[in-house]
Structure 1
């Protein structure tokens, strides 16, 4: 008869906490960078900024999802370039959110690296 003893973070539940923390930290990091990128795009694009619109940009985290948005500011779609008025005026939009989202994909590995390292350290304890 043989006895097998399984121990370690996978078997005692510590891996669940490490993975949960990894997801949380990764989502926070990527969302924070997304928000910063939107702000940077607006700072670069708007010639005569008023602080109101930029103060409305927020990050909402819901579990494993995060959304960067402008809290539904009425002229937000026009500034982004997706409003109905963009079709009839010369102003085609700043595309701040779209540009931020496109550039964010390249940054994700660097943004989550610290969270992954921390999770691996926890799992190797």
Structure 2
């Protein structure tokens, strides 16, 4: 007498694992895209005399499988624009725009929702 068990489906053939990997990748990319778009929207709204150069330097770099960094590529006057440079108030009257801090706060608040949407898009592939 013997018992034969046959396991089939996404959980056992690797499709669920691949779908989860895809969901994490999409979540990372979606949150980073949201952050990049938001910081650019703020620079467009706040900058009084934009040249376009600073905005052209804002980009997203994939740091690892689950981390993306949105940054200004180290533009030398970036800290001054943000308001954390040595030449901001009280040295001068310019306090900065705080566009990066505002974006960070919004991403912290909305990031989980954005990531959840990415995971939900992949649920059918996971067998759920």
* TM superposition score normalised by structure 2: 0.87
Q: Alpha-carbon deviation of 1:6?
A: 2.3
C-alpha separation in 2, matches of 1:114 and 1:34: 16
Q: How does 1:89-100 map to 2 (within 5 A)?
A: 89-100=92-103
C-alpha separation in 2, matches of 1:76 and 1:118: 36
Q: How does 1:22-101 map to 2 (within 5 A)?
A: 22-62=23-63, 63-87=65-89, 88-101=91-104
RMSD: 1.7
Contact 2:19 / 2:122 at 8 angstroms: preserved in 1?
yes
User: More helix per residue: 1 or 2?
Assistant: 1
C-alpha separation in 2, matches of 1:33 and 1:118: 17
C-alpha separation in 1, matches of 2:113 and 2:66: 19
Which digits, 9 at most, give the CA deviation of each residue in 1:59-92, with x for residues without a partner? 0012210011001111011111111112411111
1:116 to 104, 114, 119: 119
* TM superposition score normalised by structure 1: 0.89
Contact 2:20 / 2:126 at 8 angstroms: preserved in 1?
no
Query: Mind listing any 5+ residue stretches in structure 2 that lack a counterpart?
Result: none
Higher RCO, 1 vs 2 (CA within 8 Å, ≥6 residues apart)? 2
Q: Alpha-carbon deviation of 1:110?
A: 4.0
